[in-house]
Amino acid sequence: MRTYGGRTVCGGTVEGAAAVCSRETAAYPVPAGTEEELLRFERAKSEALEQLERLEAEVASQAGQEAAAIFAVHRLLLEDFDYVQMAEDGIRAGKSAQEAVYGAGRTCAAMFEQMEDLYLKERGADMMDLSARVIACLNGFAYPPESGPEAILIAEDFSPSQVAAWQRGGARAVISSSGSEFSHASILARAFGVPMMVQTGIPAAELAGKRFKGSVEAGAEGGLGRIRLEIL
């Protein structure tokens, strides 16, 4: 039995099977040609915008307009001139649309991560989240992937899209190895009432692929909580 402590984002007690959620990215395909890749990017961007619009409406009905505004921000960021230009420039430089989108997202995320303001710093995670959505559209995959039935989901960090999608699974907790109380993922967890803890230091990569169970005792918001994990 391993015990970890962390910062509570949203309180609650959950017990049951646990799983590590992976953020693996599919290999980039060979570019089909500049014009074809530009067209694929434009189509995927449009599809992602439609998904975000639907998600915004769904979250608004379930958790209120303030939580839903997170995905309105995602739509604005996805249509940002500099972001789109960086992706298109990457394609013109010979990259596939997937690789170009990832590169644009990573560059924009790095700009936010260098900011001193904690709220703005967390927008880097939003850039990677929306870029992952576009890449999923390019690959023809659902985003985010379906989670399993486990009651406790663990990751290095969670994206807003993951929290919004996976809270539908019923009583469960989301536990981040790192993460921040100021992230959009944390804001959504509080809005949905999903027990969440961050900064636990759980070695997610080490536990990936293993079967284990555990219990989460997340106390008052901003306080400390405890997670117990047992590998089966």
> Please, what is the average pLDDT of the chain?
91
Give me the number of domains the chain comprises: 2
Answer yes or no: do 192 and 103 share one domain. no
Q: Would the pTM of this model clear 0.85, i.e. be above it?
A: yes
Confidence of residue 23 (pLDDT cuts 50, 70, 90): low
Yes or no: say if 40 and 28 are a contact pair by the CB < 8 Å rule: no
Q: What is the mean pLDDT of residues 95-103?
A: 96
Confidence of residue 171 (pLDDT cuts 50, 70, 90): low
Answer yes or no: do 38 and 131 share one domain. yes
Confidence of residue 109 (pLDDT cuts 50, 70, 90): very high
CB atoms within 10 A of CB 185: 29
In this prediction, what percent of the chain has a pLDDT beyond 70? 97
On the question of pLDDT at 70 being above 80, the answer is yes
Select from 192, 145, 148 the least CA-distant residue to 167: 192
Answer yes or no: do 151 and 135 share one domain. no
Q: Which range marks the domain in which residue 102 is found?
A: 34-139
Per-residue pLDDT, 179: 87
Answer yes or no: do 38 and 118 share one domain. yes
Q: Does the residue 51 lie in any domain?
A: yes
139, 159, 180 - which closes a domain: 139
What the block records as the tokens of 213 is: 């169970």
Per-residue pLDDT, 170: 61
